[in-house]
Amino acid sequence: MSWFGSSIHPHLTPNARPGNYCDLPGSEESVKRAGNKLLFEDFTLADKMLAGRVWFFDHFTAIDAYFFWCVRRALSFDLNLARFENCLAHFARMRDRPSAQKVEAHEREVLAAFARAA
């Protein structure tokens, strides 16, 4: 959990707020590229950890839920994660869970409410 919170999660942030890292005009893509290099190193490690496994440990834990958020966030930035087959298989297993489906449905409702209010 600590590893996700100190590596994967912060390495996603340059995609959302590149200006937090460099305020030079036109530097956004460079900041994202540098962050994604580190992020993809993290995903390489996670992919190896998930090889031949259903979950990170012998059973589902909060770590799997946190990683689901991380992958979901990476995909929301249109990052190509195709080479991380085990990570994507884990993501698919997570999406099959009723709890994840409930969260995604709630998110869709909230976003729709925001759109109607705008």
Q: What is the CATH number of domain 2-117?
A: 1.20.1050.10
Domain boundaries, the chain: 2-117
Number of other CB atoms surrounding residue 48 within 10 Å: 11
Q: Which of the four pLDDT bands, split at 50, 70 and 90, describes residue 29? A: very high
* Mean pLDDT in residue range 66-92: 97
* Residue range 72-81, pLDDT digits in tens: 999 999 999 9
Q: Report d(CA 92, CA 101) in Å as an integer.
A: 11
Q: Which of the four pLDDT bands, split at 50, 70 and 90, describes residue 1? A: confident
Q: Is the pLDDT of residue 118 over 90?
A: no
